[in-house]
């Protein structure tokens, strides 16, 4: 046991060690956890009205992410690019990179709004319960029109994460959380003399929270340090060279997120198409799964930032240590989640009980409990996955991560189709098979990382 403890903390204080990783990761873990709480609160409050509202928020939220994630994935590579320019000592290029990311999301906003009819067509053909589909359409329309705020917030967060200045990201996100939760309560339940808005109130609260965070980040972006040290006022122009790098290395990440979320949206829809009970059980499980996964994104961002910085500085071995520190940190977190998922699943499910007893929810409890217990293995897989993906992306190995990740997610679709639709297996069995696929994916990422090809990639010269 002593040797295990010693090995776990080996290199703790070295460059790229757990200590340096945590300085960046902890504010991002808090920040991403706050994002998870915002989503969780939306669905928890909506569950008090009825399971249809909660299910519609999950389905609509995933569909909107599907249409925005190409652009957020593309602009999100600015984290690694900013970190590489910082490591290479080219500070003025960091703000130029950030502005190119902002240009991408400004272009993306009208595209997302124009895609609303496609989203409506998808819901119509998905064989969703009729009551859920009507609510889902209301939810996604508000989110689509307000998506510019969320994408600008993301682009600015990527800039500060690339610099390793994650406390401002945390501050902005906590402010967004406060605005979101307060407005959720007021608008969903109709407080302070306002009418009960239900799912429409949840959508307005989400957009308002994102706009608050974007404003705080933009004010920090224009502060004196950024103006003098990073030349922010000279960055507001199109730069073909930096944009080319962002498009070349970021496009695989964008396509990966787009294609993965299309597959994930199809997977969720197939689970929900088994009826109201299956839809409710699946929604409860995915709410907790997303709640547990989102903080791991803080670890991924920190790994991407550190690996990018040390690769830009020509120190691949320190970049390697940063990735291993990410694995250790993620595993520690996932063990804590595993304890809750395995030993307290009934309590986790009962949190979503509606105020008025509901037969659909009552019948969904046993299935939701089993799915949450199975998800404990999924979180273990995710903790390794985010560290290796963060390292590979930070180094510029984005084409491999795209190919491997997209292959996995689209393999889930036929597997789920046959298990649910053809063989008509229980949804718990189908979910267990999906989790096994993710464990295999982690093995593929580890082999790529261990091979070391990523250490030879030159993003910034």
- What is the per-residue pLDDT across 292-342, written as a single tens digit (0 to 9) for each? 887 888 888 889 888 989 998 888 999 899 988 988 888 888 889 889 999
Regarding predicted confidence, which is higher, 177 or 2? Answer: 177
pLDDT reading at 358 higher than 80:
no
pLDDT at 5 (0 to 100): 45
Q: For the segment 184-235, what is each residue's pLDDT rounded down to a tens digit?
A: 999 999 998 888 898 899 999 999 999 999 999 999 999 998 899 999 999 9
Predicted local confidence at residue 4, as pLDDT: 43
What's the distance, CA 411 to chain centroid?
Answer: 20
Under 8 Å between Cβ of 402 and 460:
no
Query: Number of C-alpha atoms within 13 angstroms, CB side, residue 435?
Result: 19
Classified as helix, coil or strand, 147 is: helix
Predicted confidence (pLDDT) at residue 412 exceeds the cutoff of 50: yes
Model confidence pLDDT, tens digit, residues 369-411: 999 999 888 888 888 888 899 889 888 888 888 888 888 889 9
Q: Is the pLDDT of residue 141 over 70?
A: yes
pLDDT at 3 over 60: no
Q: Is there a domain that residue 259 lies in? A: yes
**Distant-in-sequence, close-in-space partners of 414: CB < 8 Å, separation ≥ 6:** none
Q: Which residues of 227-242 are buried (b: 16+ CB within 10 A; e: fewer)?
A: eeebebeebeeebeeb
* Nearest CA among 310, 243, 319, 311 for reference residue 457: 311
Taking the mean position of all CA atoms in its chain, how far away is CA 12? Answer: 27
Report the distance separating Cα 184 and Cα 189, nearest Å. Answer: 8
Residue 136 lies in a domain: yes
pLDDT of residue 260: 82
In angstroms, rounded to a whole number, what is the distance separating the alpha carbons of residues 461 and 304? 18
> In which band, very low, low, confident or very high, does the pLDDT at 461 lie, cut at 50, 70 and 90?
low
Q: Read off the pLDDT band of 126 (50, 70, 90).
A: low
Tell me the CA distances in angstroms from 100 to 74, 171, 326, 334, 394, one per residue in order.
11, 24, 28, 35, 18
Q: Look over the chain and give the mean of its residue pLDDT values, rounded to a whole number.
A: 86
Within a domain: 4: no
Q: What is the pLDDT of residue 187?
A: 94
Instruction: Please report which confidence band the pLDDT of residue 76 belongs to, taking 50, 70 and 90 as the band edges.
Output: confident
Distance CA 158, CA 156 (A): 5
- How wide is the angle at C-alpha 47 spanned by C-alphas 42 and 50, nearest 5°? 135
- Smallest CA-to-CA distance from 439 within 395, 358, 375, 391 is with 375
Proportion of the chain above pLDDT 90, given as a percent: 31
Q: How many CB atoms lie within 10 A of CB 410?
A: 15
Distance CA 360, CA 276 (A): 7
User: What is the rounded CA–CA span in Å between residue 99 and residue 243?
Assistant: 9
Structural domain for 197, as ranges: 12-456
**What pLDDT is recorded for position 100?**
96
pLDDT at residue 1 is higher than 50: no
184 lies in some domain: yes
The reply to whether 6 falls in a domain is no
Query: Residue 360's closest CA among 257, 433, 278, 290?
Result: 278
Domain count, the chain: 1
CA separation for the pair 196, 98 (Å, rounded): 40
pLDDT digits (tens, 9 = 90+) for 83-118: 999 988 899 999 999 999 999 999 999 999 998 888
pLDDT reported for residue 289? 83
Query: 69, 63, 59, 437: which is closest to 271 by C-alpha?
Result: 59
Per-residue pLDDT band at 10 (split at 50, 70, 90): low
Does residue 390 sit in helix, strand or coil?
Answer: helix
> Residue 231 domain-assigned?
yes
Is residue 236 domain-resident? yes
Helix 51-76 and helix 276-312, axial crossing angle in degrees, nearest 10: 20
List, for residues 238-271, the tens digit of each pLDDT value.
Answer: 999 999 999 998 898 888 888 887 888 788 888 8
Q: What span, in angstroms and rounded, lies between the C-alpha atoms of 183 and 170?
A: 20
Contact 288/382 with Cβ under 8 angstroms?
A: no
Give the pLDDT of residue 109: 94
* Total count of residues recorded for the chain: 461
| Of 79, 290, 60, the residue nearest 166 (C-alpha) | 79
State the pLDDT at residue 272.
78
- Local confidence band at 130 (pLDDT 50, 70, 90 cut-offs): confident
Predicted local distance difference test score (pLDDT) of residue 353 = 82
Task: Give the residue among 378, 376, 391, 164 at the shortest CA–CA distance from 300.
Answer: 391
pLDDT > 70 in the chain, percent: 96
The answer to the question of residue 461 being in a domain is no
Report how far residue 82's alpha carbon sits from residue 97's, in angstroms, rounded to the nearest whole number. Answer: 7
Rounded to an integer, what distance in angstroms lies between the CA atom of residue 59 and that of residue 411?
Answer: 21
């Amino acid at each position: 046991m002593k040797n295990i403890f010693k090995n776990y903390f080996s290199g703790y204080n070295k460059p790229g060690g757990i200590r340096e990783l945590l300085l960046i990761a902890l504010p991002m873990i808090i920040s991403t956890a706050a994002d998870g709480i915002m989503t969780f609160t939306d669905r928890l409050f909506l569950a008090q009205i009825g399971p249809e509202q909660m299910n519609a928020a999950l389905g609509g939220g995933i569909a909107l992410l599907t249409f925005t994630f190409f652009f957020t994935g593309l602009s999100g590579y600015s984290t690694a690019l900013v970190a590489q320019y910082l490591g290479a000592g080219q500070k003025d290029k960091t703000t130029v990179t950030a502005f190119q990311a902002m240009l991408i999301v400004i272009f993306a906003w009208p595209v997302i709004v124009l895609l609303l009819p496609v989203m409506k067509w998808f819901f119509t053909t998905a064989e969703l319960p009729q009551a859920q589909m009507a609510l889902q359409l209301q939810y996604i329309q508000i989110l689509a029109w307000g998506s510019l705020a969320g994408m600008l917030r993301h682009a600015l967060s990527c800039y500060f994460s690339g610099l390793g200045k994650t406390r401002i990201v945390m501050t902005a996100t906590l402010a967004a959380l406060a605005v979101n939760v307060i407005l959720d309560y007021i608008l969903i339940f109709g407080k302070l003399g306002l009418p009960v808005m239900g799912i429409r109130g949840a959508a307005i609260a989400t957009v308002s929270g994102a706009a608050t965070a974007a404003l705080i980040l933009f004010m920090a972006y224009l502060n004196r340090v950024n103006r003098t040290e990073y030349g922010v006022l000279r960055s507001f122009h199109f730069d073909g060279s930096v944009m080319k790098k962002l498009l070349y290395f970021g496009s695989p990440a964008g396509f990966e997120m787009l294609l993965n979320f299309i597959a994930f949206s199809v997977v969720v829809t197939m689970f929900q198409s088994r009826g109201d009970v299956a839809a409710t059980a699946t929604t409860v499980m995915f709410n907790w799964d997303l709640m547990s996964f989102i903080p791991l994104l803080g670890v991924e961002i920190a790994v991407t930032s550190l690996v990018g910085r040390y690769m830009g500085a020509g120190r691949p071995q320190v970049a390697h240590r940063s990735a291993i520190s990410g694995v250790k940190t993620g595993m520690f977190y996932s063990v804590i989640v595993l304890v809750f998922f395995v030993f307290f699943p009934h309590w986790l499910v009962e949190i979503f009980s509606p105020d008025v007893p509901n037969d659909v929810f009552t019948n969904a409890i046993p299935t939701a409990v089993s799915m949450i217990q199975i998800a404990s293995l999924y979180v273990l897989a995710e903790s390794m996955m985010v560290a290796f993906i963060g390292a590979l992306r930070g180094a510029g190995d984005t084409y491999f991560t795209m190919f491997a990740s997209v292959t996995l997610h689209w393999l889930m679709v036929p597997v789920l189709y046959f298990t649910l639709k053809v063989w008509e297996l229980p949804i718990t069995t189908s979910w267990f098979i999906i989790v096994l696929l993710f464990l295999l994916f982690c093995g593929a990422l580890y082999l790529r990382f261990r091979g070391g090809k990523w250490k030879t990639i030159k993003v910034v010269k």
